[in-house]
A and B are shown apart, each in its own frame.
Chain A
Amino acid sequence: MRWPALALALLLGATSAHGQERHADVQAAQVEALKAEIDRLVPLVEDAQAEVYGRFHREDDADRILSAALAAVDTFEVGLLSVIAPEGHSGVAREMFEEVWREHFTNVDVSPALTRARFVFQRSDQRVPIYTARGEPRVTVDGLGSTERDEFLARIRAQIATTMQHDLTGAYVVDGQRRSLAVGHWAPHSANLDQNWSWVYRRIALTKSIVSRACISGDLAGCKSALGLGILPAEGRVRWGPIVVAGREWKQPYDQEQFARWYTPDERRLIVYENTNMAAFGREARWRECVFEDAYDVCDDLLEDSYGEYVPFDGPTRTSLLAFAVEQGGRGAWARVFEDPTWTPTQALENASGLSIDDLVRGWRSRVLAAQPPAYGGLFSSGALAMLWFFFFAALAMRSSRWRLG
Chain B
Amino acid sequence: MYKSMLFLHWKQIKYALIPAVVASFGLPLMVVSGLGIRAARGTPLEAYQIIGELNTWLHWFPSLASALGILIGLSAWNWDHAHNHVYALSLPVSRFEYVLNKLLAGATLALIPFAGMWLGAHVASAAVDLPVGLNAYPNQLAVRFLFAMLLLYGLFFALASGTKATVLKLLTVVLVFVLLGSLGNEVLADYYPVFERVHMVEYALRTLIEAPGPFQVFSGNWALIDV
Contact = CB atoms under 8 A, between A and B. Distances in A.
Please tell me whether chains A and B touch each other in their complex, using a CB distance cut-off of 8 A.
yes
Interface of A: 125, 142, 201-202, 204-208, 212-213, 216-217, 264, 266-267, 270, 372-373, 375-376, 378-379, 381-383, 385-387, 389-394, 396-398, 400-403, 405
Contacts of B166: 400-401
Given A205-B227, A379-B220, A389 B214 contact: yes
B37 interface: no
A213 B220 contact: no
A208 B147 CA distance: 35
Most chain B CB neighbours (cut-off 10 Å) among A142, A201, A381, A382: A382
21 contacts: A206-B47, A208-B47, A208-B49, A267-B44, A270-B46, A372-B227, A375-B226, A376-B141, A379-B144, A382-B147, A382-B217, A386-B147, A389-B154, A390-B154, A394-B99, A397-B158, A398-B99, A402-B77, A402-B161, A402-B163, A405-B85
Interface of B: 43-44, 46-49, 51, 77, 80-81, 84-86, 89, 95-96, 99-100, 103, 131-135, 137, 140-141, 143-144, 147-148, 150-151, 153-155, 157-158, 161-163, 166, 194, 197, 211-212, 214, 216-217, 219-221, 223, 226-227
Contacts, number: 133
Given A267-B46, A393-B154, A396-B161, 7 more contacts: A270-B44, A382-B147, A386-B150, A402-B162, A405-B85, A405-B86, A405-B89
Contact of A264 (B44, B135, B158, B162): B44
Contacts of B223: 375
A394 B95 contact: no
Given A382-B217, A383-B217, A386-B217, A206 B133 contact: yes
A390 B150 contact: yes
Contacts of B214: 385-386, 389
A400 B96 CA distance: 12
Given A394-B99, A394-B103, A397-B103, A385 B226 contact: no
Nearest to B148: A386
Contacts of B216: 382, 385-386
Contacts of B137: 375-376
B146 to A, nearest CB: 8
Contacts of B100: 394
B159 to A, nearest CB: 8
B124 to A, nearest CB: 16
Nearest to A209: B46
Contacts of A270: 44, 46
A403 B90 CA distance: 11
Contacts of A400: 158, 161-163, 166
A381 B85 CA distance: 37
Most chain B CB neighbours (cut-off 10 Å) among A372, A379, A397, A400: A397
B132 A216 contact: yes
A393 B227 CA distance: 35
A395 B186 CA distance: 38
Most chain A CB neighbours (cut-off 10 Å) among B99, B134, B153, B212: B99
Nearest to B225: A375
Nearest to B48: A206
| 7 closest Cβ pairs, A-B complex | A205-B133, A390-B154, A376-B140, A393-B154, A397-B161, A375-B226, A206-B48
Contact of B96 (A392, A393, A398): A398
Contacts of A389: 151, 154-155, 214
Contacts of A385: 211-212, 214, 216-217
